[in-house]
Amino acid sequence: MKHFKKKHNTATNILIKRFTNKKSGMVSETRREIQHRFDYLDWSVQKRIIFLFLESGKTDRVWAYSKMLKFWDDCFITVVKSHWEKFNDLKCSWLIIKHFPLSYVKEHERELSLGDNYYHICRRLCKDKSFRINKTRLNAQQYLNIIRDSEEKISDEEALYILYALSRDRCQKGLPINYFTNKYCCNRGDAPSPIDIPEISMAFYYFRQMGNQDALKAYARWADSVQKHINGNIKFWELQSLPVPDYIYITQLSEIMMKVMSDALKHLEIVE
């Protein structure tokens, strides 16, 4: 039996006609072909396809929303506003948050603040002096990103709060084995520090630029204490004597570190 490779040379305008003709029996096939070649089409054709898909079913609308996130034009504002009011699709709200005028986003902040949308609203409005961030609706990394985007200086107390919050979040999630650099494989016996964790290291860099030296010194003292407790942990030294591959070594080292950090954070809460 001969197998023929599917051709992709049908003119786009013919595909569009087939897609709009729901009785053609070729809607699914033409949908796949249109989506396959979309990114390489002329902008005028892309806009025509986006409008076409917006008037189709929910699956096609959602696909169109995803393309508008990347290929935005203000000519979409009217139809997106209409679809948001009619369908209340989540991905449609992303377009409003990202591309609509700030005045509209502010006016409809409450309706748009669904789930994780609040974080993206904060990133869009954080430079507006009248906007107040509710940090209880954000995790530590999101809050740090917004503070960075706002380009406003914060107190050492707030910076230290973020550093400890990042540490708590990491203890809850655990450490992927790729979080540590090769130095802990090459130099077994070295106890890791919380400052080695990428998001903590990045926060250190940011707060150093912002001049939050007192917060960095306070966290560094706590991190030194954690490192000393790891170095004095019996499981840490038992691990050094095991002839295990690097990935097992790093996995067990991460578990030890998370346990020591978690205990140190609990003690910190008692002291506070």
- Structural domain includes residue 241: yes
pLDDT tens column, 32-74: 999 999 999 999 999 999 999 999 999 999 999 999 999 999 9
Q: Which long-range contacts (CB under 8 A, 24 or more apart) does 29-37 make?
A: 31/60, 33/8, 35/63, 36/8, 37/8, 37/12
- Structural domain includes residue 233: yes
pLDDT surpasses 50 at 172 = yes
How many C-beta atoms lie closer than 10 Å to residue 79's C-beta? 16
Percentages helix, strand, coil for the chain, rounded to the nearest 5?
75, 0, 25
pLDDT tens column, 233-256: 999 999 998 998 888 888 899 999
- Structural domain includes residue 126: no
Candidates 95, 102, 142; CA nearest to 118 is 142
pLDDT tens column, 121-163: 999 999 888 898 998 999 999 999 998 888 788 999 999 999 9
How many C-beta atoms lie closer than 10 Å to residue 47's C-beta? 16
pLDDT tens column, 202-227: 999 999 999 999 999 999 999 999 99
DSSP SS3 for 214: helix
Which residue intervals of 71-211 are DSSP H helices?
77-87, 90-99, 102-107, 109-112, 117-125, 140-150, 156-173, 183-186, 198-210
Identify the residue whose tokens are 């997106």. 80
Positive/negative CA dihedral, 206, 211, 215, 220: positive
Task: Provide the token pair at 162.
Answer: 């973020």
- Structural domain includes residue 15: no
- Structural domain includes residue 165: yes
DSSP SS3 for 197: coil
* CA angle (9 as vertex; 7, 15 as ends), nearest 5: 105
| 122 class by beta-carbon count within 10 Å (0-12 exposed, 13-18 middle, 19+ buried) | buried
- Structural domain includes residue 45: no
Distance, in Å, from the CA atom of 132 to the CA atom of 75, rounded to the nearest integer, reads 31
Can you give the pLDDT at residue 129?
Answer: 85
- Structural domain includes residue 235: yes
Residue type, 270: I
Question: Radius of gyration over alpha carbons of the chain, in Å?
Answer: 26
Is residue 169 within 8 A of residue 141, CB to CB? The reply is yes
Task: Provide the token pair at 125.
Answer: 């409005």
The total domain count for the chain is 1
Q: What's the domain range around 228?
A: 135-272
pLDDT tens column, 65-86: 999 999 999 999 999 999 999 9
Per-residue pLDDT averaged across 165-187, rounded?
A: 79
- Structural domain includes residue 243: yes
Task: Provide the token pair at 108.
Answer: 């409809």
Distance, in Å, from the CA atom of 194 to the CA atom of 164, rounded to the nearest integer, reads 10
DSSP string, 47-99: HHHHHHHHTS-HHHHHHHHHHHHHS--GGGHHHHHHHHHHH--HHHHHHHHHH
Can you give the pLDDT at residue 186?
Answer: 61
